[in-house]
Structure 1
């Protein structure tokens, strides 16, 4: 933080502190490409094989490379193959193996779009060179439109011939600059006016694109909270001043005039004491928190005004930082707060961990006095910000009170918390181990989870697969950490149950590997879908593969089920891009368990979303509110593979195409002509439909689920409504102007319209569910925050704190928050045009 000349505060970050890889997303290509004329084809007949002459969109790809000072800093990267239907959209994230703190000021990224020129040859569609830093030495962020120089490969030299930004002045360029200011918060926001403005911008964008002769490539850079300023990482030695030798006099007329405001290098002064503690502030803190005041502080009681301030601080979200004055206030009344279980996490944030006296008092005196904390606070203490293993050990002790079913709800996050264990117990963290006030011993979280996993087979099975996914990550340190935990777990189950249980886990892995290999083979083959289905069924029916009849093994997705084989006749292949498999598993109890098995898709984000849905469902049921949610099982078995439970249902789009309305669909499956006020549907089915609609409207709103359309909103014959496909969360959405609450007109019509009593009941259920979940906001925020290092893109590149503050509106009272949520429902109908566009896109793809 610093201040400008007018005294206003401004914030920035230094590039040397940004120790994360260079990351960006290649979004889409816009502009017209005209096919060659007949004369050109007659002159060069070989050009008829080029992608430009194809009747469909050609298979373009993009290559990019980080360069600086005429030298490459990374190897070239090429986007993966993608079949285009309606436009050239990649939406592919690229991560270079170099950190931001290591790139020089002259860094550039070269982008070249390539097309097919003929058999085994490619030709550049256009190239562009993008400077990573702006004119004021700030790291560029957000969305950028790059001009492509037609038929040229990107030039990565210092004086590039293919700059991404030139002096072309068009209306869209002007509007995009204003949009960047709007995203940064430099322009005031007005909801109703902004909606009109965005609609008008879309119209201008369409017309400008039709008139423009240029090609533009859109890229997205991470949006950091503050501007990132380039700075030198090395420090310069301070040398003694020596008298300068006499210089010849320079005539005044020939002296160069230097403008210090225009030369940023004149201000690149490194202060060697910049990172040190301010001695004045440190002295003030030690005086305020003097140990001499300890006996007096024990009996200190706050007055009503201070009590209100303390309550306000205790109601902060877990991810909100405390100001220095708030920390001092918490410390002053620390003994008074020991009776309030909410105060422990805030008190630990107020401790100065480099001060041995404060640490000793906090850990040895106050921590044992504190009231037992709730699970949400225990999870917060297991996060990356807890530096003392004794505090983490206390959190593990609090978790020991939870039963296996409750602990299963948090298991995914507890496995991620093992990463932060290595931060406090590793000898390599010299900056922490140098301070003897902080304990670096192991907290016992791994041993606690292993002990629970050994005692409970279902818990242990899910624990094993969560660990195996982390072993497969690229980070060798993390992989080695989890491999040690798996080794200890397998040794423990061998000591208790012999090799039988360990063999079951091995056979599960072999079973999944065989199916995953087949899924990959079918996905990459060029056969039509019917041929793929025939190959799958032949493979499953072949006795050599041993899949139609198995020795019973627990299903990894649901260990309570034992599978004995797969039914080849019912198995199929879906018609999506990745061609996932639909498998009907035979269970030992005579039932069938249908699953979807995917290869080539990262299912960890879906796994997290469904886990949070399951948690929210339990929280609502604890308050006697059953909203009939269907949190189906999802399990990622690798970084790019996994399986999900298949629930027989139909998408709303398919129902509308076949039945016309959702009412007719429900009536066809569960009719009741004698019912009154339920449109000829059994009352329990309509009740299930209304409750599940309300539940999913609230939970998808809180998690910011995006890319909602009529093909991923599903309805089961018994009235259970649910969502699938969670590729966009925490506010990300590929569509413009996404509604905050996912409610389409077909859903409302099935309730009788917005004036019907069923719709009013739906509204009341939404308000009640939102109020209940808002009371558990700390638990939800802590669970998502623990997943920040889980390599889930939508969490890694989003601000979890800001998202949930905006959704839960913790700054408002309960009544005000309900009114805010109420205002979102009437305006949250899907845009019918976007649904129609998506429907036609799916039609042409099929």
Structure 2
């Protein structure tokens, strides 16, 4: 079920010709050919058609033209009815320019909504109707209850709660103001400018107020009213009444964007206000009428889809068991082994001359851990892949855990006499042994397999998706699972607890049926030395590999572990998941386990913990401890770990859908994170169903999302044309083509007046075509410039610049910038103001994305080239310092040097820890105010570029003489200055602060192992963080290790300069 391809406006054409012949089939049997403009709306085509139809026979059989709609066949080979007659011909994505005129049937409102949802998702949702899978249909119905609940929550409390959904407060997680930020205030007081726009002239009045940083927005409004009425000379009683009357009628809006201070949070907890305090800017807020905001809130009724009203059809048991009379798995004989029959394979496409034989490798897994030895079939010739072989596994049916899965792959064998055999996976697949109804799989199963992903080192892919490939032309394996007289189900909670009690009573010799809490009290004795050993073990980082002795030690003291909630991941890794005796006891422990810190609980969502009960516990921790701000911060990971969920309907999916429907900012990025992966067939069904549920319930915001999707589609078509059809043209010709096409009505309509995908509080107004350009890199990115339409735009920014990229995978950049932002938060909370600049970056599709342009910034290379040939060729290391001094004269010079020093320290530490590569002088930028930042994070975790097998970058991070001269304010012997010592101290503190949170960063990378980034394929890649954070060393040893890295960086700075020289020579003519 793949989404639609971006093949252009017409099949095989990126752009339609300006005029095109359209064949129109009328209900009276006439075929009329019309010459239409590519940007003609359907309503004008219909008018033209009916005018022309008068000249044809049988016109009298036609009704009024308003009784009809057009229908066409799209590029996905889907029949689509076009209800929106404002749509342009070039936007219909027709397979062929043929339109049929019909009378519409069925529920018009639902059909229009379904079409809008399909456009947003990128695939017709009627495809879900065709899926013969009861899990899909049951999920579509069950998730609607979450949608209704969310809609009632956001709209049941009146206009205020609805406003909180549309304009969710952007606040820090904690109201506590860090001491170094508090020090920037005047005795805890903050200066704020309040603006009032007087209608109808739009005259602007401002009032400057000095108030306590922790006062609430309504208190600030009251102060503004007092100041505004000061000239009226009111008595104290009159003033009090005036404030009471008007205070509740207004709310505060951030000038220049769609952000409001709606909730009772301290002013300094609002992110906008806090960022102003940090950078020393005056906050600008606008007083607006509450009623005017509430009146503009869109009504969002819920259209109940027709499929929810259908009675679900009971799915037949493939093994023939009776679903009405199920049998518990644990009632089987404990010695009954698992066995599976491999019958045959089809569509196995191999070169017979290169391959000797093929076989199927199989294994039973819990996450990435094998539950027993892998089993192979016999080897057979490629020409006849039939086995008809029963495979026996060294695990009993009763010991299968809830999350057990069969993993298999068709493998080839190649080898010559006397040479070592080569085994290679040709295709792989996984099958959950229990379905979403807890039923053990039985009977025959045809499993269409998946192509082998890049970087797969093993023959099996146990953490890959479970289920069949929707592409039926791939290799397919036919399996048979044992069939039983009854439907076999996994035991319920009562049976699990009874078994656990029986095991414990058998081991300890007396009955533990008093309950788990008593059991814990009775069995929690432990020596002090053992308790310290246990805590030390539980404090090890997530990548630490437990020995068998350590696993045994943890399990022996499992009851005491309840006193250390954060020990749960380690204890779960110690459980023998192929033993129901241990699993049942673990489930009972988990029932009473105290909630963990949410950042620690994130680990329980990675591929090592597939058990549904464990993941449900993890979600309870997140729901209890994560603020909306933290959910936004970790949303990238939370969306990705949906891939590790066994079933479509799971607590994490329900949680994310509900959050997305009660917080529009979260919903915005939830939509784009899902949509950006709809090209990936392994997740397109799961993500498509979640997108359908979200889009069906997000109300009028669906139209805003579709405006964004339409604009992005236009830009994809444009850049595809530039890359493929205009790639040999000159830059001037390409620019002429860009301006001509973007000036067309359909492009101007699509590319103006919509919400920015990068940040939903920003509106993109009119396109400033004269400021747009095609950048010089190979993928032909577009530098686009929009006006900010906000009435107070001059107080934030008057224009919005974004780079549109088509051809580069921006997911790695997104992850790196997210990590840098989290590092910045940690440093700020610990009193380190390192002024990082994690600019906006968003992947919106297959190698398509957007990047925020940072204002008033230049690459190091651009700055060096301003210093003439000596600067460009790195002979003069003073060029950067001279440039900063030229841009910051007088009192601002010291501030600029301080800002450069802080930001340089932050990026030195961040790029070292993350192993950021390709750090040439076009990937490091400096703002005019002195703030340094890095861009383009295509290489990380030490995957650095190589030349002739050697890494080009020979230093741990970039710290050249140019930077040191700026830090030391122009002194040539930089390392002997007090400024350099201060810089070093900042780096040391920053490094140790991140080291204290090593587990969080390892978890954030681990949760993304399944997303397919080329440089994040395995836990071995993430192990690089253990090395740079020196997690096997003491804090003092780690600091000494980092100090050595810093010395290597500035002593080896000459090697970086040499790399920069060659980069400058190669790119100087093309640098913008």
With structure 1 as the length reference, what TM-score do the two structures score?
A: 0.63
- Residues 547 and 566 in structure 1, CA contact (< 8 A), matched pair in contact too: no
Which residue pairs with 1:395 in the alignment?
A: 618
868, 886, 892: which one aligns with 1:668: 886
In structure 2, the CA distance between the partners of 1:684 and 1:68, relative to structure 1 (3 Å rule), is farther
296, 310, 315: which one aligns with 2:539: 315
Which residue pairs with 2:824 in the alignment?
A: 617
Which residue pairs with 1:839 in the alignment?
A: 1064
In structure 2, the CA distance between the partners of 1:325 and 1:471, relative to structure 1 (3 Å rule), is same
Which residue pairs with 1:28 in the alignment?
A: none
Q: Distance in 2 between matches of 1:512 and 1:571?
A: 16
Which residue pairs with 2:957 in the alignment?
A: 741
- What SS does structure 1 have at the residue aligned with 2:851? strand
Cα deviations by residue, 1:436-462 (Å, 9 ceiling, x for unpaired):
xxxxxx441011011111111111001
- Residues 860 and 922 in structure 2, CA contact (< 8 A), matched pair in contact too: yes
Question: Are 2:895 and 1:684 aligned?
Answer: yes
495, 516, 527: which one aligns with 1:303: 527
1036, 1060, 1065: which one aligns with 1:815: 1036
Cα deviations by residue, 1:507-544 (Å, 9 ceiling, x for unpaired):
11001111121122223312222332233233333444
Which residue pairs with 2:729 in the alignment?
A: 527
Q: Distance in 1 between matches of 2:1068 and 2:689?
A: 49
- Bigger radius of gyration: 2
The 5-angstrom pairing of residues 263-412 of structure 1 reads 290=507, 292=509, 295=519, 298-364=522-588, 366-400=589-623, 401-412=625-636
Question: Are 2:780 and 1:541 aligned?
Answer: no
Q: Distance in 2 between matches of 1:419 and 1:222?
A: 18
- What SS does structure 2 have at the residue aligned with 1:569? helix
- What SS does structure 2 have at the residue aligned with 1:628? coil
Q: Distance in 1 between matches of 2:882 and 2:1008?
A: 42
In structure 2, the CA distance between the partners of 1:226 and 1:690, relative to structure 1 (3 Å rule), is farther
State how many pairs are aligned: 567
450, 463, 466: which one aligns with 2:657: 450
In structure 2, the CA distance between the partners of 1:549 and 1:509, relative to structure 1 (3 Å rule), is closer
In structure 2, the CA distance between the partners of 1:289 and 1:467, relative to structure 1 (3 Å rule), is farther
Q: Distance in 2 between matches of 1:296 and 1:588?
A: 63
Q: Distance in 1 between matches of 2:534 and 2:837?
A: 40
- Residues 772 and 783 in structure 2, CA contact (< 8 A), matched pair in contact too: yes
Q: Distance in 2 between matches of 1:549 and 1:490?
A: 22
The Cα of 1:289 is off from its aligned counterpart by: 10
Question: Are 2:669 and 1:462 aligned?
Answer: yes
The Cα of 1:390 is off from its aligned counterpart by: 1.6
Question: Are 2:977 and 1:756 aligned?
Answer: yes
In structure 2, the CA distance between the partners of 1:139 and 1:815, relative to structure 1 (3 Å rule), is farther
389, 412, 425: which one aligns with 1:104: 412
The Cα of 1:72 is off from its aligned counterpart by: 11
- Residues 562 and 588 in structure 1, CA contact (< 8 A), matched pair in contact too: yes
Which residue pairs with 1:506 in the alignment?
A: 706
In structure 2, the CA distance between the partners of 1:298 and 1:804, relative to structure 1 (3 Å rule), is farther
The Cα of 1:288 is off from its aligned counterpart by: 13
Q: Distance in 1 between matches of 2:1015 and 2:630?
A: 26
Q: Distance in 2 between matches of 1:373 and 1:795?
A: 27
The runs of 5 or more residues in structure 2 that have no matched partner are: 1-348, 359-406, 426-453, 462-476, 478-502, 513-518, 872-878, 969-973
Cα deviations by residue, 1:118-160 (Å, 9 ceiling, x for unpaired):
xxxxxxxxxxxxx9x994446799xxxxxxxxxxxxxxxxxxx
Cα deviations by residue, 1:665-694 (Å, 9 ceiling, x for unpaired):
11121112xx6xxxxx62221111111111
- What SS does structure 1 have at the residue aligned with 2:540? coil
The Cα of 1:569 is off from its aligned counterpart by: 0.9
Question: Are 2:850 and 1:643 aligned?
Answer: yes
In structure 2, the CA distance between the partners of 1:345 and 1:515, relative to structure 1 (3 Å rule), is same
Q: Distance in 1 between matches of 2:789 and 2:584?
A: 57
Which residue pairs with 1:657 in the alignment?
A: 865
- What SS does structure 1 have at the residue aligned with 2:576? coil
- What SS does structure 2 have at the residue aligned with 1:484? helix
- What SS does structure 2 have at the residue aligned with 1:754? helix
- Residues 452 and 459 in structure 1, CA contact (< 8 A), matched pair in contact too: yes
- What SS does structure 2 have at the residue aligned with 1:796? coil
- Residues 777 and 808 in structure 1, CA contact (< 8 A), matched pair in contact too: yes
- What SS does structure 2 have at the residue aligned with 1:718? coil
The Cα of 1:474 is off from its aligned counterpart by: 3.7
- Residues 540 and 548 in structure 1, CA contact (< 8 A), matched pair in contact too: no
- Residues 472 and 479 in structure 1, CA contact (< 8 A), matched pair in contact too: yes
Q: Distance in 1 between matches of 2:522 and 2:353?
A: 63
- What SS does structure 2 have at the residue aligned with 1:446? helix
Q: Distance in 1 between matches of 2:460 and 2:1040?
A: 35
- Residues 909 and 990 in structure 2, CA contact (< 8 A), matched pair in contact too: yes
- What SS does structure 1 have at the residue aligned with 2:764? strand
The 5-angstrom pairing of residues 10-49 of structure 1 reads none
Higher RCO (Cα < 8 Å, 6 or more apart): 2
The Cα of 1:67 is off from its aligned counterpart by: 4.8
Q: Distance in 1 between matches of 2:458 and 2:990?
A: 31
Q: Distance in 1 between matches of 2:422 and 2:958?
A: 38
Cα deviations by residue, 1:236-295 (Å, 9 ceiling, x for unpaired):
xxxxxxxxxxxxxxxxxxxxxxxxxxxxxxxxxxxxxxxxxxxxxxxxxx9999465975
- Residues 356 and 412 in structure 2, CA contact (< 8 A), matched pair in contact too: no
- What SS does structure 1 have at the residue aligned with 2:803? strand
Cα deviations by residue, 1:63-84 (Å, 9 ceiling, x for unpaired):
xx9856357999xxxxxxxxxx
- Residues 941 and 1022 in structure 2, CA contact (< 8 A), matched pair in contact too: no
The 5-angstrom pairing of residues 698-713 of structure 1 reads 698-713=909-924
Q: Distance in 1 between matches of 2:788 and 2:945?
A: 40
In structure 2, the CA distance between the partners of 1:356 and 1:450, relative to structure 1 (3 Å rule), is same
769, 772, 775: which one aligns with 1:571: 772
Q: Distance in 2 between matches of 1:418 and 1:223?
A: 21
In structure 2, the CA distance between the partners of 1:844 and 1:716, relative to structure 1 (3 Å rule), is closer
The runs of 5 or more residues in structure 1 that have no matched partner are: 1-64, 75-98, 108-130, 142-220, 229-233, 235-285, 427-441, 676-680
Q: Distance in 2 between matches of 1:289 and 1:569?
A: 82
The Cα of 1:728 is off from its aligned counterpart by: 0.9
Q: Distance in 2 between matches of 1:359 and 1:528?
A: 67
Which residue pairs with 2:760 in the alignment?
A: 559
Q: Distance in 1 between matches of 2:778 and 2:1013?
A: 21
- Residues 288 and 328 in structure 1, CA contact (< 8 A), matched pair in contact too: no
Q: Distance in 1 between matches of 2:634 and 2:1065?
A: 41
- What SS does structure 2 have at the residue aligned with 1:565? coil
Cα deviations by residue, 1:644-682 (Å, 9 ceiling, x for unpaired):
00113111122112134111111121112xx6xxxxx62
Q: Distance in 2 between matches of 1:318 and 1:774?
A: 13
- What SS does structure 2 have at the residue aligned with 1:624? coil
With structure 2 as the length reference, what TM-score do the two structures score?
A: 0.50
- What SS does structure 1 have at the residue aligned with 2:1009? coil
Question: Are 2:353 and 1:69 aligned?
Answer: yes
Q: Distance in 1 between matches of 2:458 and 2:355?
A: 31
The Cα of 1:389 is off from its aligned counterpart by: 1.0
- Residues 600 and 640 in structure 1, CA contact (< 8 A), matched pair in contact too: yes
The 5-angstrom pairing of residues 756-835 of structure 1 reads 756-796=977-1017, 799-828=1020-1049, 829-830=1052-1053, 831=1055, 832-835=1057-1060
- Residues 613 and 699 in structure 1, CA contact (< 8 A), matched pair in contact too: yes
Q: Distance in 1 between matches of 2:845 and 2:508?
A: 53
The Cα of 1:374 is off from its aligned counterpart by: 1.5
In structure 2, the CA distance between the partners of 1:530 and 1:292, relative to structure 1 (3 Å rule), is farther
Question: Are 2:907 and 1:599 aligned?
Answer: no
Question: Are 2:785 and 1:580 aligned?
Answer: no
